[in-house]
Structure 1
Amino acid sequence: MVLNLRGASRRRERGAVIIWLTLFLLVLIGFGSLSVDVAKLAAARTQLQNAADAAALAGASALDPGTAMIVQPLAITRAQAAALSNKAFITDPQPVVLAAADVTFPTPLRVRVKVRREGSESVVTTLAQVLGIKQPSVTATATAKLDTVGTALCGVVPLGVSPNAGQNFQIGCANLYTLKTGGGAGGGGEYGAINFSYCANQGVCAGMNPSGGNTFRCLLTNGYCCPLTVGQVVDTESGNMAGPTKQAINSRFAADAVTTENICYSDYVSRGGTGQRVVLLPITTPVAGNRQVTILGFCAFFIRNRPGNGDIVGEFMYQVIAGTGGGSGTGPVVFSLRLVPNS
């Protein structure tokens, strides 16, 4: 009788262990499934933030070259295209659709976007549905702004320009500026060219001697791709270098989809210009008669004509370039893009 009681006790103990083990496994599986949902929501949040960042930057790039303000309809289109090129989870990763109403403009130089996984496009969960969390909403917001460039990272050509004292470069087809003077018009042997310091491994012209006609031609064609900063002192380049100037500008014309001369920048854009005739220059203290100049800022010009005797004439415009902020907020400027805190 005693043996039977002991056997029954052991069977009850084994049964209890099995029950507890089953419960433990169920809880373990539950937590595992829930962790999958948590990871999926975290991934969706990251994906949406990446989409929001890309959309805000793309929207802010829609700068009007004539007014230095963001063109809002174009900004919305660019932001939507950038968002759509990103994916975020619903059941699986799907393209992010950005509503036009979710693109706003806190200031003329800022774009804010909000991307969503809400409603029918909410993130679909698995175990969380048992807890009543069927399709949680996830959103992300980003704001981008245009900053006046203090450091240009790539693309600057070796010509220093200076507006007349007390004036700024003026927008418009009627306002043409000499970016480099031709033969016989230089001051003290300087015609507008400047030297940039040795750039070892950046850009097409990397490793070339800082001075000389070959380097000037390469940089005028392709741009300098080491950083240049407001306040930096650079040397001037003496001599007209008419040959390298003509070769460089002719190369730019040949690479562009629009080669027609004597047209305005607005006509150039409407005809499908591809940007090779737009050059980025440093604004400097006057070049003529000086051996060194100081960089005061950066600006962009549309080249109207092929050079005759080494001269270059252009139309001023606002532009977005690769760079960082810190430049002056007034006068002829170019802009760079950056993300800023949402406010």
Structure 2
Amino acid sequence: MAVSMVFIMGMLALVIDLGLAFLSTGEQQKAADAAVYSSGRLLPVPIGNTAKVNQIKNSAINYASLNGFEDLTQDDVILGKVRNGQYTEIKVIVDNSVPMYFAKIFGIDYLDLSRSAVAKLSPINRTTGVVPIGLTKEEIESRIANNNLTHVTLKYGVHGGSTSFFGALDLDGQGGGASDYRIWISQGYAGEISVGDILLEESGNMVGPTYQGFDERYNACTHFGAQVGGSGCTAEDFEPSCPRIVKVPVYSFGTDKKTVVVEGFAAFLLENQTNDGYITGSFLNMVSNGASSGNNVGEGTEGDFGLYNLILSE
């Protein structure tokens, strides 16, 4: 009987206690995944910006707490993969001590378990909401290399005469003209645009529709007191969902000079316009909706122009 009881208690310890431990690891993994994915949408984060670093770490701690794990500390949230002075990856470690019941007979009071999750930024290669103005791959790569991404003239006016004039684009290939173009500026194109797509150059400079579409979009910002005299979203402080932020195609010219080939996408914060068709603003690094290429953020990665999706990598 004594020998049998030892065997029975051992089986109970194995089945019940280890079963509880298994359930705990499942909950830990869910908490780690939720924390890393939700807080990771704040990436990329400048390595020297203590406020932003604390914000993303505290966000991860908060999401872990909402999922039942309240003991996370900032040391459990690890930022990594620095590119251009910014963290592009986040790791969250969730530890837990699961109390044992039957296993106490064998001197095991607790079982320490650890689970983790990692999310990284990956360049977007297919998305909706694109606006019908953009820039060449050579231009943005040069700007990235020289850290010249703020207060940029993206679209020039009728008499610009500059090699940086990028013109208007026909996103659906149907030749919709001024009406569609204005809607695409103010609301973004509803269809999907992918890397490798061939787009037509839109005839004319679209000064009027550009002005109208910009005005609608810029004035729709409701953040940072924009509706009561405040600055609204700026390159330093912005909400990723703000209407002032547009997705622009990065392209190379086609062989016939009447078409462009999409090479990737960038995020551009509208800052100013003139009544003769000039648009200026700043490029941002940020997370948005769209399909990711799966590639890591880093020098030499094709299609990496600052617009990213967030994916779980571990």
| TM-score of the alignment, normalized to the shorter chain, above 0.5 | yes
1:223 lines up with 2:188 in the alignment: yes
Contact kept? 2:288, 2:309, Cα under 8 Å:
yes
Q: CA-atom RMSD, angstroms?
A: 4.2
Query: Which residue does the alignment assign to 1:85?
Result: 63
Query: Which residue does the alignment assign to 1:107?
Result: 81
Query: Which residue does the alignment assign to 1:61?
Result: 42
After superposition, the Cα gap between the structure-2 partners of 1:161 and 1:275, relative to the gap in structure 1 and judged at 3 Å, is same
Query: Which residue does the alignment assign to 1:140?
Result: 115
Letter in structure 1 aligned against 2:91: R
Task: Quote how far apart the aligned CAs of 1:196 are.
Answer: 2.7
After superposition, the Cα gap between the structure-2 partners of 1:215 and 1:81, relative to the gap in structure 1 and judged at 3 Å, is same
Separation of aligned partners in 1, 2:305 and 2:148: 13
1:288-299 matches, within 5 Å, as 290-299=257-266
Task: Quote how far apart the aligned CAs of 1:112 are.
Answer: 2.3
Contact kept? 1:61, 1:75, Cα under 8 Å:
no
Query: Which residue does the alignment assign to 1:154?
Result: 128
Letter in structure 1 aligned against 2:134: G
Task: Quote how far apart the aligned CAs of 1:40 are.
Answer: 3.4
After superposition, the Cα gap between the structure-2 partners of 1:153 and 1:145, relative to the gap in structure 1 and judged at 3 Å, is same
Letter in structure 1 aligned against 2:112: S
1:52-88, CA deviations, whole angstroms, 9 ceiling, x for partnerless residues? Answer: 2233342473324xx6x69566345324423432469
Task: Quote how far apart the aligned CAs of 1:324 are.
Answer: 0.7
Contact kept? 1:125, 1:134, Cα under 8 Å:
yes
Contact kept? 1:152, 1:324, Cα under 8 Å:
yes
Task: Quote how far apart the aligned CAs of 1:249 are.
Answer: 1.7
Contact kept? 2:64, 2:70, Cα under 8 Å:
yes
Q: Which has the higher strand share?
A: 2
Contact kept? 2:124, 2:307, Cα under 8 Å:
no
Contact kept? 2:25, 2:114, Cα under 8 Å:
yes
Query: Which residue does the alignment assign to 2:30?
Result: 50
Task: Quote how far apart the aligned CAs of 1:263 are.
Answer: 9.9
1:157-209, CA deviations, whole angstroms, 9 ceiling, x for partnerless residues? Answer: 22121254983355458x5333223345589xx962223348xxxxxxxxxx7
SS across alignment from 1:313: strand
Contact kept? 2:61, 2:74, Cα under 8 Å:
no
SS across alignment from 1:310: coil
Query: Which residue does the alignment assign to 2:292?
Result: 324
Residues matched between the structures, number: 290
After superposition, the Cα gap between the structure-2 partners of 1:338 and 1:166, relative to the gap in structure 1 and judged at 3 Å, is closer
SS across alignment from 1:98: coil
Query: Which residue does the alignment assign to 2:52?
Result: 74
Q: Which has the larger radius of gyration?
A: 1
Contact kept? 1:156, 1:223, Cα under 8 Å:
yes
Unaligned ranges ≥5, structure 1:
1-18, 199-208
Unaligned ranges ≥5, structure 2:
83-87
Separation of aligned partners in 2, 1:70 and 1:339: 25
After superposition, the Cα gap between the structure-2 partners of 1:35 and 1:244, relative to the gap in structure 1 and judged at 3 Å, is farther
After superposition, the Cα gap between the structure-2 partners of 1:103 and 1:191, relative to the gap in structure 1 and judged at 3 Å, is closer
Task: Quote how far apart the aligned CAs of 1:293 are.
Answer: 0.2
Contact kept? 2:21, 2:98, Cα under 8 Å:
yes
SS across alignment from 1:220: helix
1:1-343 matches, within 5 Å, as 35=15, 37-57=17-37, 58-59=39-40, 61-64=42-45, 74-86=52-64, 94-108=68-82, 109-117=88-96, 122-129=97-104, 132-147=107-122, 149-162=123-136, 163-164=138-139, 167-168=142-143, 171=147, 176-183=151-158, 185=160, 192-197=167-172, 211-224=176-189, 226-256=191-221, 257=223, 258=226, 265-266=234-235, 269=237, 275-286=242-253, 290-322=257-289, 323-325=291-293, 326=295, 328-329=300-301, 332-341=305-314
TM-score, normalised by the number of residues in structure 2: 0.72
Letter in structure 2 aligned against 1:142: A
Separation of aligned partners in 2, 1:39 and 1:221: 55
Q: Percent identity?
A: 25
After superposition, the Cα gap between the structure-2 partners of 1:314 and 1:84, relative to the gap in structure 1 and judged at 3 Å, is closer
Letter in structure 1 aligned against 2:75: A
Letter in structure 1 aligned against 2:76: D
Letter in structure 1 aligned against 2:73: A
Separation of aligned partners in 2, 1:165 and 1:52: 36
Task: Quote how far apart the aligned CAs of 1:291 are.
Answer: 2.2
TM-score, normalised by the number of residues in structure 1: 0.66
Separation of aligned partners in 2, 1:95 and 1:154: 36
Contact kept? 1:179, 1:192, Cα under 8 Å:
no
Letter in structure 1 aligned against 2:36: A
After superposition, the Cα gap between the structure-2 partners of 1:261 and 1:80, relative to the gap in structure 1 and judged at 3 Å, is closer
